[in-house]
């Protein structure tokens, strides 16, 4: 998105990307470098990675985040929250009340910035077919996808789990 490149044959809306990384900071730089090398690109793109998790359970922290992002010269095309658990702050992801508060703050972020927001979340240990935590999460999102690695770890299957206002896309395999 920050480079304006198509993705699996689909056009993207070019714009800044803000990646709210709650974990794996060391690996992010390596993945970005590998992607840049693979695409043979000069990395001067508007892609910003937070140095720590950003708690989205409190309205004040969300307002501060919105103000900080708006300070950049251009509004983002995408904000990625990775992961829900690291951004959940002091909330209990099994609590419907806390999950609804989190979802309301994600919605406030989306509306204030006028962009898409992707929240990365994990499945349960036993229930691999749905995200862990309060069921309010599945009810409160526009779309969600399940991404699974194969046993070899070399391919992944991306399957739509829900598409609120659109026709679900077909399963997609990635290498």
The mean pLDDT of 67-79, rounded to a whole number, is: 96
The mean pLDDT of 106-110, rounded to a whole number, is: 96
Find where tokens 């994990």 sit.
Answer: 122
The mean pLDDT of 56-76, rounded to a whole number, is: 95
Lowest mean pLDDT, pick from 24-33, 35-44, 72-81: 35-44
- The mean predicted confidence, pLDDT, of the chain is 90
Distance CA 126, CA 97 (A): 23
Q: How high is the pLDDT of residue 125?
A: 66
């Amino acid at each position: 998105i920050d480079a304006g490149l198509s993705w699996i044959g689909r056009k993207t809306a070019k714009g800044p990307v803000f990646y709210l990384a709650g974990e794996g900071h060391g690996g992010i730089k390596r993945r970005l470098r590998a992607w840049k090398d693979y695409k043979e690109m000069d990395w001067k793109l508007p892609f910003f990675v937070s140095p720590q998790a950003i708690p989205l359970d409190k309205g004040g922290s969300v307002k501060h985040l919105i103000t900080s992002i708006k300070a950049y010269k251009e509004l983002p095309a995408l904000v990625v929250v990775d992961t829900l658990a690291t951004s959940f702050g002091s909330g209990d992801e099994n609590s419907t009340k806390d999950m609804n508060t989190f979802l309301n703050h994600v919605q406030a972020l989306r509306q204030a910035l006028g962009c898409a927001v992707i929240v990365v979340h994990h499945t349960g240990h036993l229930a691999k077919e749905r995200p862990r935590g309060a069921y309010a999460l599945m009810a409160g999102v526009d779309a969600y996808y399940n991404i699974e690695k194969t046993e070899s770890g070399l391919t992944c299957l991306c399957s739509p789990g829900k598409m609120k206002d659109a026709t679900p896309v077909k399963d997609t395999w990635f290498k």
